[in-house]
Structure 1
Amino acid sequence: MRFPPRAAALVAIAALTTTLAACGSGSGSGSGSAETTALTVGIVGLTTDAPLYLADQKGWFAEQGLTVDISTGGGAAAIIPSLVNGERQVGTGNLISVLKANTQGLPLQAIAGQNNSASSLEDTAHITSAVVVPADSPITTEADLKGRTIAVNSLNGLGDLTIKATLERDGVDPSGLKFVEMQFPDMSAAVSAGRIDAAWLVEPYMTAGLDAGLRPVLYNFEGPALDFPIGVYFATRQFVSENPETVRTFRTVIDRATDYAKANPDETRAVVASYTKIPPATLQKMALPNYSPTLDKDKVALLGELMVRYGVVDRTPDLDGTMGPVYQR
C-alpha cells in the first residue's frame, strides 16, 4: 500500500517506536551482535550523489569491507520511512527534512556531509539554485517577487525557506509570497506558459531552464549565508548505535570521495552522466554542487533559527545531536 508523505511519516514514527520498544536496553553495539557490512543507500539521483557513485565505481567501499547498493527513489520524505523499516540503512537529503523528522519523533542522525551552497557569489561554478522567470516577465528585481506565486518542489522545505530568508535579508517582505508545489521537471514549462510567476530550479533543471530562455532573479541558496549547509548522509540513531564501526568506515570512504569529487570536476561530470539522463550539452555547462564532508556549526544553528521563524517546525530541532557528528573538526 502506498501512503502519502504525511501518512508515511506517521507510519514510520509508529514503526520506529515499536522497534525501539522491542529492542529494549539490550540493543546497541554492546549486545555482542556482529555489525552489518551491507548497506543500501537511498538517494534522490541528482548531482549531489556523485561522490557515492565515485566511491562505488572506484572500489573504495569494497576495499574497506563494505558492500553498498545504491537505491534511487524519491526525496527524503520517501527515504526516511525506508530507513525505519530496514529496507535501507543510509539515506541522503537536505538538512531540513532530517531535522523536521526529528521534531516529529523520528530520531535520525547525520553521518557524513554532502554539500553546502557556494562559498561566494562569484563562485558561479557552484551556484546550483535560482528563482527564474520568463525573459519578458515584468519581474526584474527581488522586490518584484513580492506577492508573486513561486513553484517549489516541496512546501515548507529548503526552497521556500531559503527564498524567504534571502528576500528578508535584502529588505523585501516575504509574507505575501504564494508557494505552489510542483516537480522540478515540470517547472520550466509552467513558468514559460505563465501558469506561475516564477519557479525555483536546481541543477540540472536550472541550466536547462536558462537555455530555454528563462532568466534568474534570485540566487536563494547563497541568501541565508555563503557555504550554507544543504545536504547530508543520514541513518537512524538505532542503526548508528548498533553499527558504529560500519558507520565510521562509511564516513571515511564517503569523505574521501566527496573531497575527490570537488577536486576533479571533469571526472565528476562523467560519473553523473553514468546515472542520470542529463543531456551532454547541459552536463558540461551546469554548475556542480559545492561538495563538502563537513558542516559549519554556526550555520546549522542559523538554519534551525530560520526553520522556527518561517514555521517549518514549531520548536528548535536537536541540532547538535542530529548534525554534530559532521560539524567541522
Structure 2
Amino acid sequence: MRRVLAALAAGAFLVTASACGSSGDSTGSDKASSSGGTTKVKVGVIPIVDVAPLYLGQEKGFFKKQGLELEVSLAQGGAAIVPAVASGQYQFGFSNSTSLMIAQSNNVPVKVVSNGIASTGVQGKDFGALTVKGDSSIKSADQVEGKKVAINTLKNINETAVRESVRKAGGDPDKVKFVELAFDQMPAALDSGQIDAAMVVEPALATVKSQGAREIASPLVDVAPDLTVAMYFTSTSYEQRNAAVVKRFQAAVAESLAYADAHPDEARQIVTTYTKIPAAVLAKVTLPAWPAEPDRASLDALQKLGQDDGLFKTAPDLDKLLP
C-alpha cells in the first residue's frame, strides 16, 4: 500500500503542498478535530468553477447546519488530492472520476461519498473545451497530431477525453504531445505560443476565450452524454470510523449542489472568492451541471476508455467505489 500511495503521490503530492501552503498542522490521523459540537474537516479541492457549490454551501451555512467547519486546501488536480485523502492529510477531497478509478484499481482505500459535477452534454457549450489560439491553423481535434496539448495532469480524465475527441475526429491520439500545466497557467501559455492547444475548464476557459482563443472540440461531451466528471470522496478508514460525519458531509454537499444548480448567478459570483477572474470574464463563464447523483452509464464509458488507454492495471470496481 505504501508503494501504491507513493506512486500516486510522485510529483503530484508536491504540487498539493505548494498550492496549499504549509501542511505542518496535519497529524496524519483519520480523525478530524472537534470542538463545541462542531467538527472541523479538511477538504482538498481544485480552484475551478466545479467546486463553486462547496464554497456557496459554506457561505449559506449548509455545512454549519450539519455541525461541520470546512478548512479548504487547494491543489492542481485530483491526482494530487487522492493520496492526501488516503493518507489522512485531508478528511475529504474533490477529484475527477478517472483519478478515483485509478486509485481504486490500485487498491488505494478511497470511497466516493457525493456527486461533484457533470458535463452540460452540449457540444460547444460545455464548461470544458479543447482550445487553440485565434489565429491557429488548427481547425479540428484530429489536427493536434504532433502538437503540444496542455492538460492539467497527465494520464487522467482530460487526457482520456482529448484522446477520444481526436479519435472521433479521425486522428491518432498516440501522436499527440501532451504536456502537464495548471489550468490557470494555460491562458498565458496558449497566448504566447508555448503550447499549440489546451484542454481548459472554467474559469480558465472564459479567460482564453477573452484572449481570442477558439474551441475546436468538447472532449468531456465526446466521452459520454452527461458525463460525471468529478466527485467528492473520503478514505474508507475515515468512513468506517466517522460514519456520522460522512453522512453530515453528504447532506451538506447535496444541499449545496441543489442550491448552486437553482441559483446560477450566485454560483458564478462565488467563484470570485477563490479565483482571480475579472468581472468581465466571469459573466462569460459556462457553468457545469450539478446533478444530485453520479451518472453510472457515463462512468462505465469513461472506465472503458481508460482501460483502452492503459490507465488501469486492473479494471476498477465501480460498485465498491461509488456510494
User: CA distance change for structure 1 residues 65 and 220 in 2, over 3 Å: closer, same or farther?
Assistant: same
The one-letter code of the counterpart of 1:174 is P
Q: Partners of 1:202 and 1:247 in 2: how far apart?
A: 28
User: CA distance change for structure 1 residues 62 and 134 in 2, over 3 Å: closer, same or farther?
Assistant: closer
The aligned residue for residue 67 of structure 1 is: 69
Structure 1 residue 6 displacement after superposition: 4.0
Residue 83 of structure 2, aligned match among 81, 90, 104: 81
Residue 7 of structure 1, aligned match among 7, 10, 15: 10
Structure 1 residue 97 displacement after superposition: 1.1
Deviates more, 1:275-284 or 1:180-189: 180-189
Q: Partners of 2:185 and 2:90 in 1: how far apart?
A: 29
Residue 96 of structure 1, aligned match among 94, 98, 118: 98
Q: Partners of 1:8 and 1:212 in 2: how far apart?
A: 31
Q: Partners of 1:144 and 1:301 in 2: how far apart?
A: 28
Q: Describe the superposition over 1:256-288 as per-residue Cα deviations: whole angstroms up to 9, x where unpaired.
A: 110110110111122222222111111111111
SS of the residue corresponding to residue 62 of structure 1 reads helix
Does structure 1 retain, via aligned residues, the 8 Å contact 2:133–2:190? yes
User: CA distance change for structure 1 residues 178 and 184 in 2, over 3 Å: closer, same or farther?
Assistant: same
The aligned residue for residue 107 of structure 2 is: 105
In structure 1, runs of 5+ residues without a counterpart are: 11-22, 28-34
Q: Partners of 1:188 and 1:64 in 2: how far apart?
A: 39
Q: Describe the superposition over 1:184-224 as per-residue Cα deviations: whole angstroms up to 9, x where unpaired.
A: 23323333333322121111111111111111111111111
The one-letter code of the counterpart of 1:218 is A
Structure 1 residue 36 displacement after superposition: 8.8
The aligned residue for residue 13 of structure 1 is: none
Does structure 1 retain, via aligned residues, the 8 Å contact 2:106–2:314? no
Q: Partners of 1:193 and 1:270 in 2: how far apart?
A: 29
The one-letter code of the counterpart of 2:10 is A
Q: Partners of 2:72 and 2:190 in 1: how far apart?
A: 33
Q: Partners of 2:89 and 2:137 in 1: how far apart?
A: 48
Structure 1 residue 293 displacement after superposition: 2.4
User: CA distance change for structure 1 residues 312 and 278 in 2, over 3 Å: closer, same or farther?
Assistant: same
Matches within 5 A, 1:173-252: 173-252=172-251
Structure 1 residue 4 displacement after superposition: 9.1
Deviates more, 1:140-149 or 1:292-301: 140-149
User: CA distance change for structure 1 residues 320 and 138 in 2, over 3 Å: closer, same or farther?
Assistant: same
Structure 1 residue 54 displacement after superposition: 1.6
Deviates more, 1:168-177 or 1:105-114: 168-177
User: CA distance change for structure 1 residues 7 and 136 in 2, over 3 Å: closer, same or farther?
Assistant: closer
Matches within 5 A, 1:278-293: 278-293=277-292
Equivalent residue pairs, number: 299
Identity of aligned residues (%): 32
Structure 1 residue 120 displacement after superposition: 2.9
Structure 1 residue 5 displacement after superposition: 5.9
Does structure 2 retain, via aligned residues, the 8 Å contact 1:169–1:224? no
The one-letter code of the counterpart of 2:46 is V
Residue 123 of structure 2, aligned match among 121, 124, 127: 121
Structure 1 residue 9 displacement after superposition: 8.1
SS of the residue corresponding to residue 235 of structure 1 reads strand
Does structure 2 retain, via aligned residues, the 8 Å contact 1:132–1:199? yes
Residue 41 of structure 2, aligned match among 29, 39, 42: 39
SS of the residue corresponding to residue 308 of structure 1 reads helix
Structure 1 residue 8 displacement after superposition: 6.9
Q: Partners of 1:67 and 1:56 in 2: how far apart?
A: 8
Q: Partners of 2:88 and 2:136 in 1: how far apart?
A: 48
Q: Partners of 1:235 and 1:62 in 2: how far apart?
A: 19
Q: Partners of 1:120 and 1:204 in 2: how far apart?
A: 18
User: CA distance change for structure 1 residues 208 and 263 in 2, over 3 Å: closer, same or farther?
Assistant: same
SS of the residue corresponding to residue 290 of structure 1 reads coil
Structure 1 residue 109 displacement after superposition: 0.6
Q: Describe the superposition over 1:108-150 as per-residue Cα deviations: whole angstroms up to 9, x where unpaired.
A: 010000101113337x3xx111111122222112332233221
The aligned residue for residue 262 of structure 2 is: 263
SS of the residue corresponding to residue 257 of structure 2 reads helix
The aligned residue for residue 139 of structure 1 is: 138
Does structure 2 retain, via aligned residues, the 8 Å contact 1:36–1:246? no
Structure 1 residue 237 displacement after superposition: 0.8
The one-letter code of the counterpart of 2:210 is D
Q: Which has the larger radius of gyration?
A: 1
Does structure 1 retain, via aligned residues, the 8 Å contact 2:140–2:169? no
Does structure 2 retain, via aligned residues, the 8 Å contact 1:308–1:316? yes
